[in-house]
Structure 1
Amino acid sequence: MKNNHHVDILAINDKRNEPYLSKISDLNLLDNSHFIKPYGKDAIKHALKVFNPMKPRNTWTSIKNVAKASWRLLKASNDKYSLRDYFNLVVYAEFLYKGYDVVHSHSELPSVYFRPIVTACNYNFVTTFHGLQPVGLTNLPEPKRKTIAALAKHVFVNTEFAANQYRSIGGENANLTVIPQGIDLDMYNPDSVSNIKNNSSLEVLSVGRLHPDKGHIFAIDAVIKLIEMGYDIRYTIVGNGPLKQELKQYIADKGCTGIQIKTGLSSADLLAEYRRADIFIFPSLKSHDGFHEETQGVALQEAQAMRSVIVSTFTGGIPECINNGHTGFLVPDRSSEKIAAQLEELILNKESWPTVKDSAVITLRERYDINVIGQRLMQAYYQ
């Protein structure tokens, strides 16, 4: 948008949730946004709109474009297309032959649904791989990933760890480009958020999905240990997920009133939690298969921007994001003892915090500022 380019947005679901919708509105892109599911009754209803007798000119144009696109898919003998792919030409007929210079799919699944449109129109196509879904959730089958990797001019990943992960699961021939996920430093600005801290307690924060692979139980045990040693600590965990009730019960059974779990926070409330936090714990776990691990951990950059000191586990792509001892601190995963020891060291050496915070902010501005990331993406698009 800053380069005066036209942008259309297509979402394959109808989760018009804040904060994404508010960002789209701020950019005046609501009129250019389309929420179209590629399956179910919604897809059928949208496909029928192509044949609208009230708009014969548009209908005729859509029919011609769908026929042209179908013929091109039939001639693409080096690739196979299913009936669903041809149906998707109808569902997304309004995107056929629009002259897009680049089509960017920001996750894997939309790539599959939009592939026939990209092929038929010969659009330049790029996609983003954020990492595998958590254990228990469905990932894209490897044959489909191979197809998408071959089609894409760029596959964007946020760390070298994610790049190696992608190569090992079907993307060995992909043109991988490492560009971290950026954050808006104007939004995550501690000077624009009131500090609501009103006590002398050490404020500790974690933000993330309440899932076994996030390792919250180890951080909880570490904080409980320090509280039992006499340290005045308040630990807030923000998130939702399958472990919410189990973690709440665990905290209650321990009789610890200094630890709380919060869910359903607004963007403003989440920023306030970041602003209040002295230390941010990111206790994510290494997986036993070596695949299902954090690729970047964007909450780390958000916390650093809000001037929290980071204590994270040495897992996945996190060591690429945290310079241990300089912009944050890394400890082994699955060790409440190591987390507690690092927290205690920070408590006893508060004079070191400003240097760590300043180093983290310098790195954020150089590597993770959304404006820097935007320019890197534009360079890739122009290639």
Structure 2
Amino acid sequence: MRIAFFVTYFPILSETFILNQITGLIDRGHEVDIYANQPGDRDKMHPDVERYRLLDRTYYIPEFPKNLFFRLLKGLGLVFANLSKAPLVLLRSLNVFKYGKEAASLWLLYLTIPLLNKKPYDIIHCQFGTDGLKGMWLRDIGAITGKLITTFRGYDISTYIQEHGEQFYDKLFAAADFFLTNCEFFRRRVIKLGCDEKKTVVHGSGIDCSRFVFTPRYPSPDGMIRIATTGRLVEKKGIEYSIRAVAKLAKTYPNLEYNIMGDGPLRNNLQQLIQELGVSNIVKLLGQKPQQEIIEILNKSHIFTAPSVTAKDGNQDAPVNVLKEAMAMGLPVVSTYHGGIPELVEDGISGFLVPERDVYGLAEKLGYLIKHPEIWHQMGRSGRAYVEQHYDTNKLNDQLVEIYRHLLNFGQEQPREQEKLVSSMYV
């Protein structure tokens, strides 16, 4: 199959779930091209980006000037330079009566340029709801062909809905051939918003379990208890609350070490909070780390916490991959009743869940794990087994190919066959 992936940025270290899909499809003999708005992390790339030469398969939208005059001037140059390739497509991209501000701003024209003269695709897979809109417009003007699939992953079905209203995806729900969500929590949400449940299934974000070696957890000979968190330093990750919880525990357990891996706009705020709480010797903001360094730090850790919260702008998490990675490595976890996380963490079995923003709850469950190291091993084993069963990227990539083939074989014109596929995914 020829498959086009639409993403916002590429490559991005934090989006290994997309990278795993791309490399998995290539390993299975399929041809994958990547279309991105802008380059992502060129300085810190996942090794698979180079190993699979993915930048050779990646096409970027021409730089989009903010200044309207320069945008128009450049747009005219793009039209004249490419008119012979697909004149009707370029003219349709400028149809302001049908496409409104997307055409009037020249955004649709700029989106079209990387696709000119490309061979037809079998599948157009848009990795976020906002990318789905791009795929919908481009297919409608004839810039690309193929079955259109959109995956909803988090901010696109939470923050965007709060900002733009519940009708934001109505046209996409009507136009696309199939939809995936990365958890049941978001599947229920898209159905409530008007997406046909007969063409919507949960397809989780996978991890390569072979890269995250299970290690039984036992107390360290030096007596230290090492807690870890991985995540962007943004509001929805809730890291403020785990810092406060650890600060409470430090009064009883001075042998704590809390390592936070990740970067983001709240770094200075969190550093100030650490200083105000007097735990600079215990809590460390380590910054963004490549995957191998994260694994090394997790190998030395005893407990993992991911205290996610619903942000003020409505942003929510699915079952986050950093939790899956920690569980795959045998770490007992403490997280929150938030978004899709309860679909991953079984409370009392692979870890503990507490309400969002509950500092006392976090401190209590972390304290319980510190007091009872004898349960670390079994919780870690339970977490590993659950991740292997539900989130192994190889199983999920096989499932993804099955979804693609189903759409090519049956498509929208046979709704009974689509219903069978949806039903089979929940057996």
In the alignment, which residue of structure 2 is the partner of 1:127? 150
In the alignment, which residue of structure 2 is the partner of 1:292? 315
In the alignment, which residue of structure 2 is the partner of 1:102? 123
Deviation digits for residues 333-383 of structure 1 (CA, Å, limit 9, x no counterpart):
222221122122212221221111111111111111111111111111112
Over the aligned positions, Cα root-mean-square deviation in angstroms equals 3.3
Q: Distance in 2 between matches of 1:230 and 1:19?
A: 36
Change (3 A) 1:179 1:136: closer
Give 1:173 deviation, angstroms: 3.5
Asked if 1:30 corresponds to 2:30, the answer is no
Deviation digits for residues 256-290 of structure 1 (CA, Å, limit 9, x no counterpart):
2111111132332222222222101111124578x
In the alignment, which residue of structure 2 is the partner of 1:267? 291
Residue among 328, 341, 347 paired with 1:305: 328
Q: Distance in 1 between matches of 2:222 and 2:160?
A: 41
Asked if 1:118 corresponds to 2:139, the answer is yes
Change (3 A) 1:78 1:273: same
Return the TM-score normalized by structure 1.
Answer: 0.83
- Secondary structure, aligned partner of 2:154: coil
Give 1:252 deviation, angstroms: 1.2
Q: Distance in 1 between matches of 2:293 and 2:74?
A: 39
Residue among 10, 31, 34 paired with 1:6: 31
In the alignment, which residue of structure 2 is the partner of 1:56? none
Change (3 A) 1:47 1:281: farther
Letter in 1 for 2:202: V
Any stretches of 5+ residues in structure 2 without a counterpart? 1-25, 407-427
In the alignment, which residue of structure 2 is the partner of 1:180? 204
Deviation digits for residues 269-312 of structure 1 (CA, Å, limit 9, x no counterpart):
222222222101111124578x5322222211011122211011
Change (3 A) 1:89 1:210: closer
In the alignment, which residue of structure 2 is the partner of 1:215? 238
Q: Distance in 1 between matches of 2:160 and 2:360?
A: 29
Give 1:241 deviation, angstroms: 2.3
- Secondary structure, aligned partner of 1:99: coil
Return the TM-score normalized by structure 2.
Answer: 0.75
Which of 1 and 2 has higher RCO (CA within 8 Å, sep 6+)? 2
Report 1:13-24 matches (<5 A). 13-17=38-42, 22-24=47-49
Q: How many residues are paired up?
A: 366
Letter in 1 for 2:36: A
Residue among 359, 374, 377 paired with 2:397: 374
Asked if 1:347 corresponds to 2:370, the answer is yes
Residue among 296, 310, 335 paired with 2:358: 335
Report 1:352-367 matches (<5 A). 352-367=375-390
Give 1:93 deviation, angstroms: 3.9
Contact 1:190 1:275 in 2 (8 A): no
Identical aligned residues as a percent? 25
In the alignment, which residue of structure 1 is the partner of 2:113? 91
Q: Distance in 2 between matches of 1:263 and 1:29?
A: 26
Q: Distance in 2 between matches of 1:379 and 1:46?
A: 40
Q: Distance in 1 between matches of 2:93 and 2:248?
A: 65
Q: Distance in 1 between matches of 2:326 and 2:38?
A: 29
Contact 1:216 1:284 in 2 (8 A): yes
Give 1:68 deviation, angstroms: 5.5
Give 1:211 deviation, angstroms: 2.4
Instruction: Report which stretch shifted further, 339-348 or 208-217.
Output: 208-217
Q: Distance in 2 between matches of 1:227 and 1:161?
A: 35
Deviation digits for residues 109-158 of structure 1 (CA, Å, limit 9, x no counterpart):
33333333322244211111111268699966654422222222222111
